[in-house]
Amino acid sequence: MSKSSLYISIIAVVILAISACSRKSDFVIGENSELVRDNGSGTGTTTWTSDKTYLLDGFVFVNDGQTLTIEPGTVIKARTGQGENASALIVARGGKLIASGSSVNPIIFTCEGDDLEGSVPVFAKGLWGGLIILGNAPLNNEFNEGHIEGIPISEPRGIFGGPDPEDNSGIIRYVSVRHGGTNIGSENEINGITFGGVGNKTTVEYIEVISNNDDGIEFFGGSVDCRFVVSAFNGDDAFDCDLGYNGRGQFWLGIQDPSEGDLLLECSGGIDPELGQPFTIPVLFNCTFIGRGSNITNRAVQFNNFAGGHLGNSILVNQHSGIYLQFKQNYNNSFDQFQMENLVMQNNIFYNVASNVASDIFRVYAETGVNVDSYNQIIAAYFSDAQNVVSDPGIEITDTGYGILPSGNITDNLVEVPDAWFNTVSYKGAFLYDDWARNWTLIHQSGWIY
């Protein structure tokens, strides 16, 4: 099937999916199901069990002091709706979510019309809200707290941020979030999973966001560490880091929807003030980022607003443009962070990115009229100095799927991981022989990765 025919077919089934998910009669409240609404009191401290399916009707909060435990294999569905009728699960600052699934029994968040057997097509987006986790870890804005996007400003439980980088919002393990990102108004969509000021005592591993209408996963400040993460086929960025996010990540798979989507990774600094601390400096190793193709003029990665970051031992393929660093004349900027060695890109593999021309993969950008030629010469020389290479890692990309286990050479010139939180492995990218995303993810169940 050609790409154009594939996209037309996808659009048709997405329309059918939206219609199906919009019928409230699709979900019948009975002995094995439970309707969940929030009148302001939150969920309470309770356990959602795998013998029931739960239906979120509107915004449902885990309030400060409450703990929601979700058993392995539990399915949580959500009413479809826009604006004030949107549905989402929000863990408020001071609340905890203990959602610890397994590879055999993952915890699934999806829309109400999803029978988990193909009734909703893989690429269907915006059918409900998403999962939002808020904590007490630092942000880099003036007051060290903010109000999370996607939640009306009138809701006080949408406040996040605080003084504790080791804050604990619970456990999120083997959780798949599907078909979210509904619009709550003024083009304000909810991310698949939003981490707002979440601390590094929170456990996050083996999570999937697939087909969300906005970003797959966004980190607003905080220091939460995440590994074994899938963000696929989302409408905006695969991963977005801002407001001083400085957590660690390892084994991240990002795949862009061939028909839409922006960056695979965006790192932005502060806004008010831009020079606020902590700086946005995520430390990421063993990522595999797969773009939309060379015919779409998207960038793979972008650093702006004085953001830095570390990207090492990773694979980036199939994107028109590479990694872009912002320069702002007479202002602090991400190129400054590069010169201060707070922005490091070492020992990565690039293929079919910027036409495989090394001098074009790392670029500096600025406002129109600002000459950045000398800065581009510096960053181009850095490409090889930091042992980045243009090489085919052997990742297969077709109209119908992705062979994510590489067949090329991905074991040369590794950089040592910075601390004991990271797993020490002898390869670049998120996978070698073992597909840790198999079975529990929708992207694997539907055959899009193999």
How far is C-alpha 81 from the geometric centre of its chain's CA atoms? 22
The residue count of the chain comes to 450
Q: Which two tokens stand for residue 116?
A: 């988990």
DSSP-derived 3-state class of residue 12: helix
Number of H helices, E strands in the chain: 5, 31
Residue where the block lists tokens 């806004």: 271
In order of 110, 137, 138, 174, 239, the CA distances from 165 in angstroms are 31, 4, 6, 24, 21
pLDDT value, residue 7: 44
pLDDT value, residue 186: 58
pLDDT value, residue 82: 80
Cα distance between residue 147 and residue 120, in whole Å? 32
Asked whether the CA dihedral 187, 234, 167, 422 is positive or negative, the reply is: negative
- For 3-445, CATH number? 2.160.20
Can you give the pTM of this predicted structure? Answer: 0.94
pLDDT 10s per residue in the chain (450 long)?
A: 344 444 444 444 444 455 556 444 456 677 799 999 999 999 999 999 999 999 999 999 999 999 999 999 999 999 998 877 889 999 999 999 999 999 999 999 999 999 999 999 999 999 999 999 999 999 998 889 999 988 888 899 999 999 999 999 999 999 999 999 998 765 677 999 999 999 999 999 999 999 999 999 999 999 999 999 999 999 999 999 999 999 999 999 999 999 999 999 999 998 777 788 999 999 999 999 999 998 888 999 999 999 999 999 999 999 999 999 999 988 889 999 999 999 999 999 999 999 999 999 999 999 988 999 999 999 999 999 999 999 999 999 999 999 999 999 999 999 999 999 999 999 999 999 999 999 999 999 999 999
